[in-house]
Amino acid sequence: MTSVGQNQTAAGATPPSSGSGRGDETEPPDWTAESAPIKAIRLRHPWRTVFAVVLILIFALFIIDAARRPAYDWPSVAKYIFDRRISQAAVNTLQLTIYSMLVAIVLGVILAMMRLTPNPVVKSVAWFYLWVFRGTPVYVQLVFWGLLAVIYQSIDIGIPFMKPWHSFETNAALNAFTLAVIGLALNEASYMSEIVRAGLLSVNRGQEEAATALGMSWFQTMRRIILPQAMRVIIPPTGNEVISMLKTTSLVTAVPYSFDLYTRTRDISAETFNPIPMLIVASIWYLFFTSILMVGQYFLERRFARGVGDRRPDRKGAADEGTPTGTLPIVGSGQPTVLLPPREDNPPVNPGHGGLP
């Protein structure tokens, strides 16, 4: 591009194809002079504007049309959206999601670590679990859990073939909600374990080596060194799984548990013979929860971006502060350090956050 470059080409064996061989006549540029800041006319993108306007028009037309269309039955939507039965069902769905995801994440981490241990017995157990629970449809598994009481009438605790110390009746001990959570969680754990395993494998091998060389045990290395770094890789797909779980809860009718959001709205529409507004009601609630979960994920990702500040989701804050430590307040806390900008003349970034050493 520069005249220097052209000179070099010209000096080579191949003659320049264009008539720019006059490059050697030009003055060498003065490298010391400060160049003028670039003031260029911005490139315009008229078609983007046109396309956006067309899309907005189409969308507006759709909304206006939908608002008038009797089949949507907006008065019914308004009537049922905060209906006691619906909001209770929404809470149930949220509980199903949270409980089963919590169990699934804990179990998934354990399974992933089991698969990476040097212990072949433990490794095979984890593999077998994955094979069964990932290999069969969640719907089938939920039906099975629903039939647990038919297969095993009582749950006995004790030594096999001896009189049990304690015995409960399955039906009394496990209600449909619990069975639904178990069914969803055990299935999800198999997927989570693969996500966690991918995260653990993504951490540089040198990290494990350094921790081992310091005399840390395998478990300490995993928990303190590898897992925290793997979190950055684990969180985004886990967010996916949470949102997916929120919607998978609509399958718990297989258990049968019928107080979740979707089953409830379906039951109500079976009475009113008017399914469409109920579907809209359910969708609004699902979207509402999903949006909240997405916000939560954003903050979690920020929390685990420690030490790799430049790759955090919002780069703006980090860049503006100009401190080299990535000193955004650490969200989620539980973390002892808020970093002190090293030089005295730098005021603390976030005085409200305390904990400055």
CA distances, 322 to each of 170, 303, 311, 319 (Å): 61, 19, 15, 6
184, 189, 243, 339: which one binds another protein (CB under 8 A): 339
Query: Is the Cβ of residue 16 or residue 307 nearer to another protein in the bound state?
Result: 307
131, 224, 236, 283: which one binds another protein (CB under 8 A): 224
Phi, psi of 169 (to 5 degrees): -85, 135
CB atoms within 10 A of CB 141: 19
DSSP state of 156: E
By CB under 8 A, residue 319 contacts another protein: no
Using CB under 8 A, count the residues that bind another protein.
33
Query: What gap in Å lies between CA 329 and CA 351, rounded to an integer?
Result: 10
**235 to 264, contacts with another protein by CB under 8 A?**
none
**90 to 129, contacts with another protein by CB under 8 A?**
none
CA distances, 292 to each of 78, 285, 286, 289, 319 (Å): 22, 11, 10, 5, 27
By CB under 8 A, residue 212 contacts another protein: yes
**Residue 228 CB, nearest approach to another protein (Å):** 5
* Residues 278, 263 contacting (CB under 8 angstroms): no
By CB under 8 A, residue 225 contacts another protein: yes
By CB under 8 A, residue 220 contacts another protein: yes
By CB under 8 A, residue 215 contacts another protein: yes
By CB under 8 A, residue 334 contacts another protein: no
* Residues 127, 157 contacting (CB under 8 angstroms): no
By CB under 8 A, residue 307 contacts another protein: yes
Sign of CA dihedral 250, 105, 331, 354: positive
What is the separation, in whole angstroms, between the first and last Cα of the chain?
52
Q: Tokens 């449909």 appear where? A: 176
By CB under 8 A, residue 234 contacts another protein: no
23, 317, 326, 355: which one binds another protein (CB under 8 A): 326
39, 213, 334, 352: which one binds another protein (CB under 8 A): 213
Query: Is the Cβ of residue 101 or residue 330 nearer to another protein in the bound state?
Result: 330
CA distances, 293 to each of 8, 95, 188, 190, 288 (Å): 58, 13, 17, 22, 9
127, 149, 228, 321: which one binds another protein (CB under 8 A): 228
From 175-183, 184-192, 214-222, 234-242, give the range in contact with another protein by CB under 8 A. Answer: 214-222
Q: Tokens 């629970």 appear where? A: 133
Q: At what angle do helices 84-116 and 261-272 cross, to 10 degrees?
A: 150
340, 348, 353, 355: which one binds another protein (CB under 8 A): 340
By CB under 8 A, residue 306 contacts another protein: yes
**Residue 303 CB, nearest approach to another protein (Å):** 11
* Residues 287, 240 contacting (CB under 8 angstroms): no
From 71-79, 135-143, 225-233, 260-268, give the range in contact with another protein by CB under 8 A. Answer: 225-233
Query: What gap in Å lies between CA 266 and CA 279, rounded to an integer?
Result: 8
**Residue 319 CB, nearest approach to another protein (Å):** 13
Q: Which residues bind another protein (CB under 8 A)?
A: 204, 206-207, 209-218, 220, 224-225, 228-229, 304, 306-310, 324-326, 337, 339-340, 342-343, 357
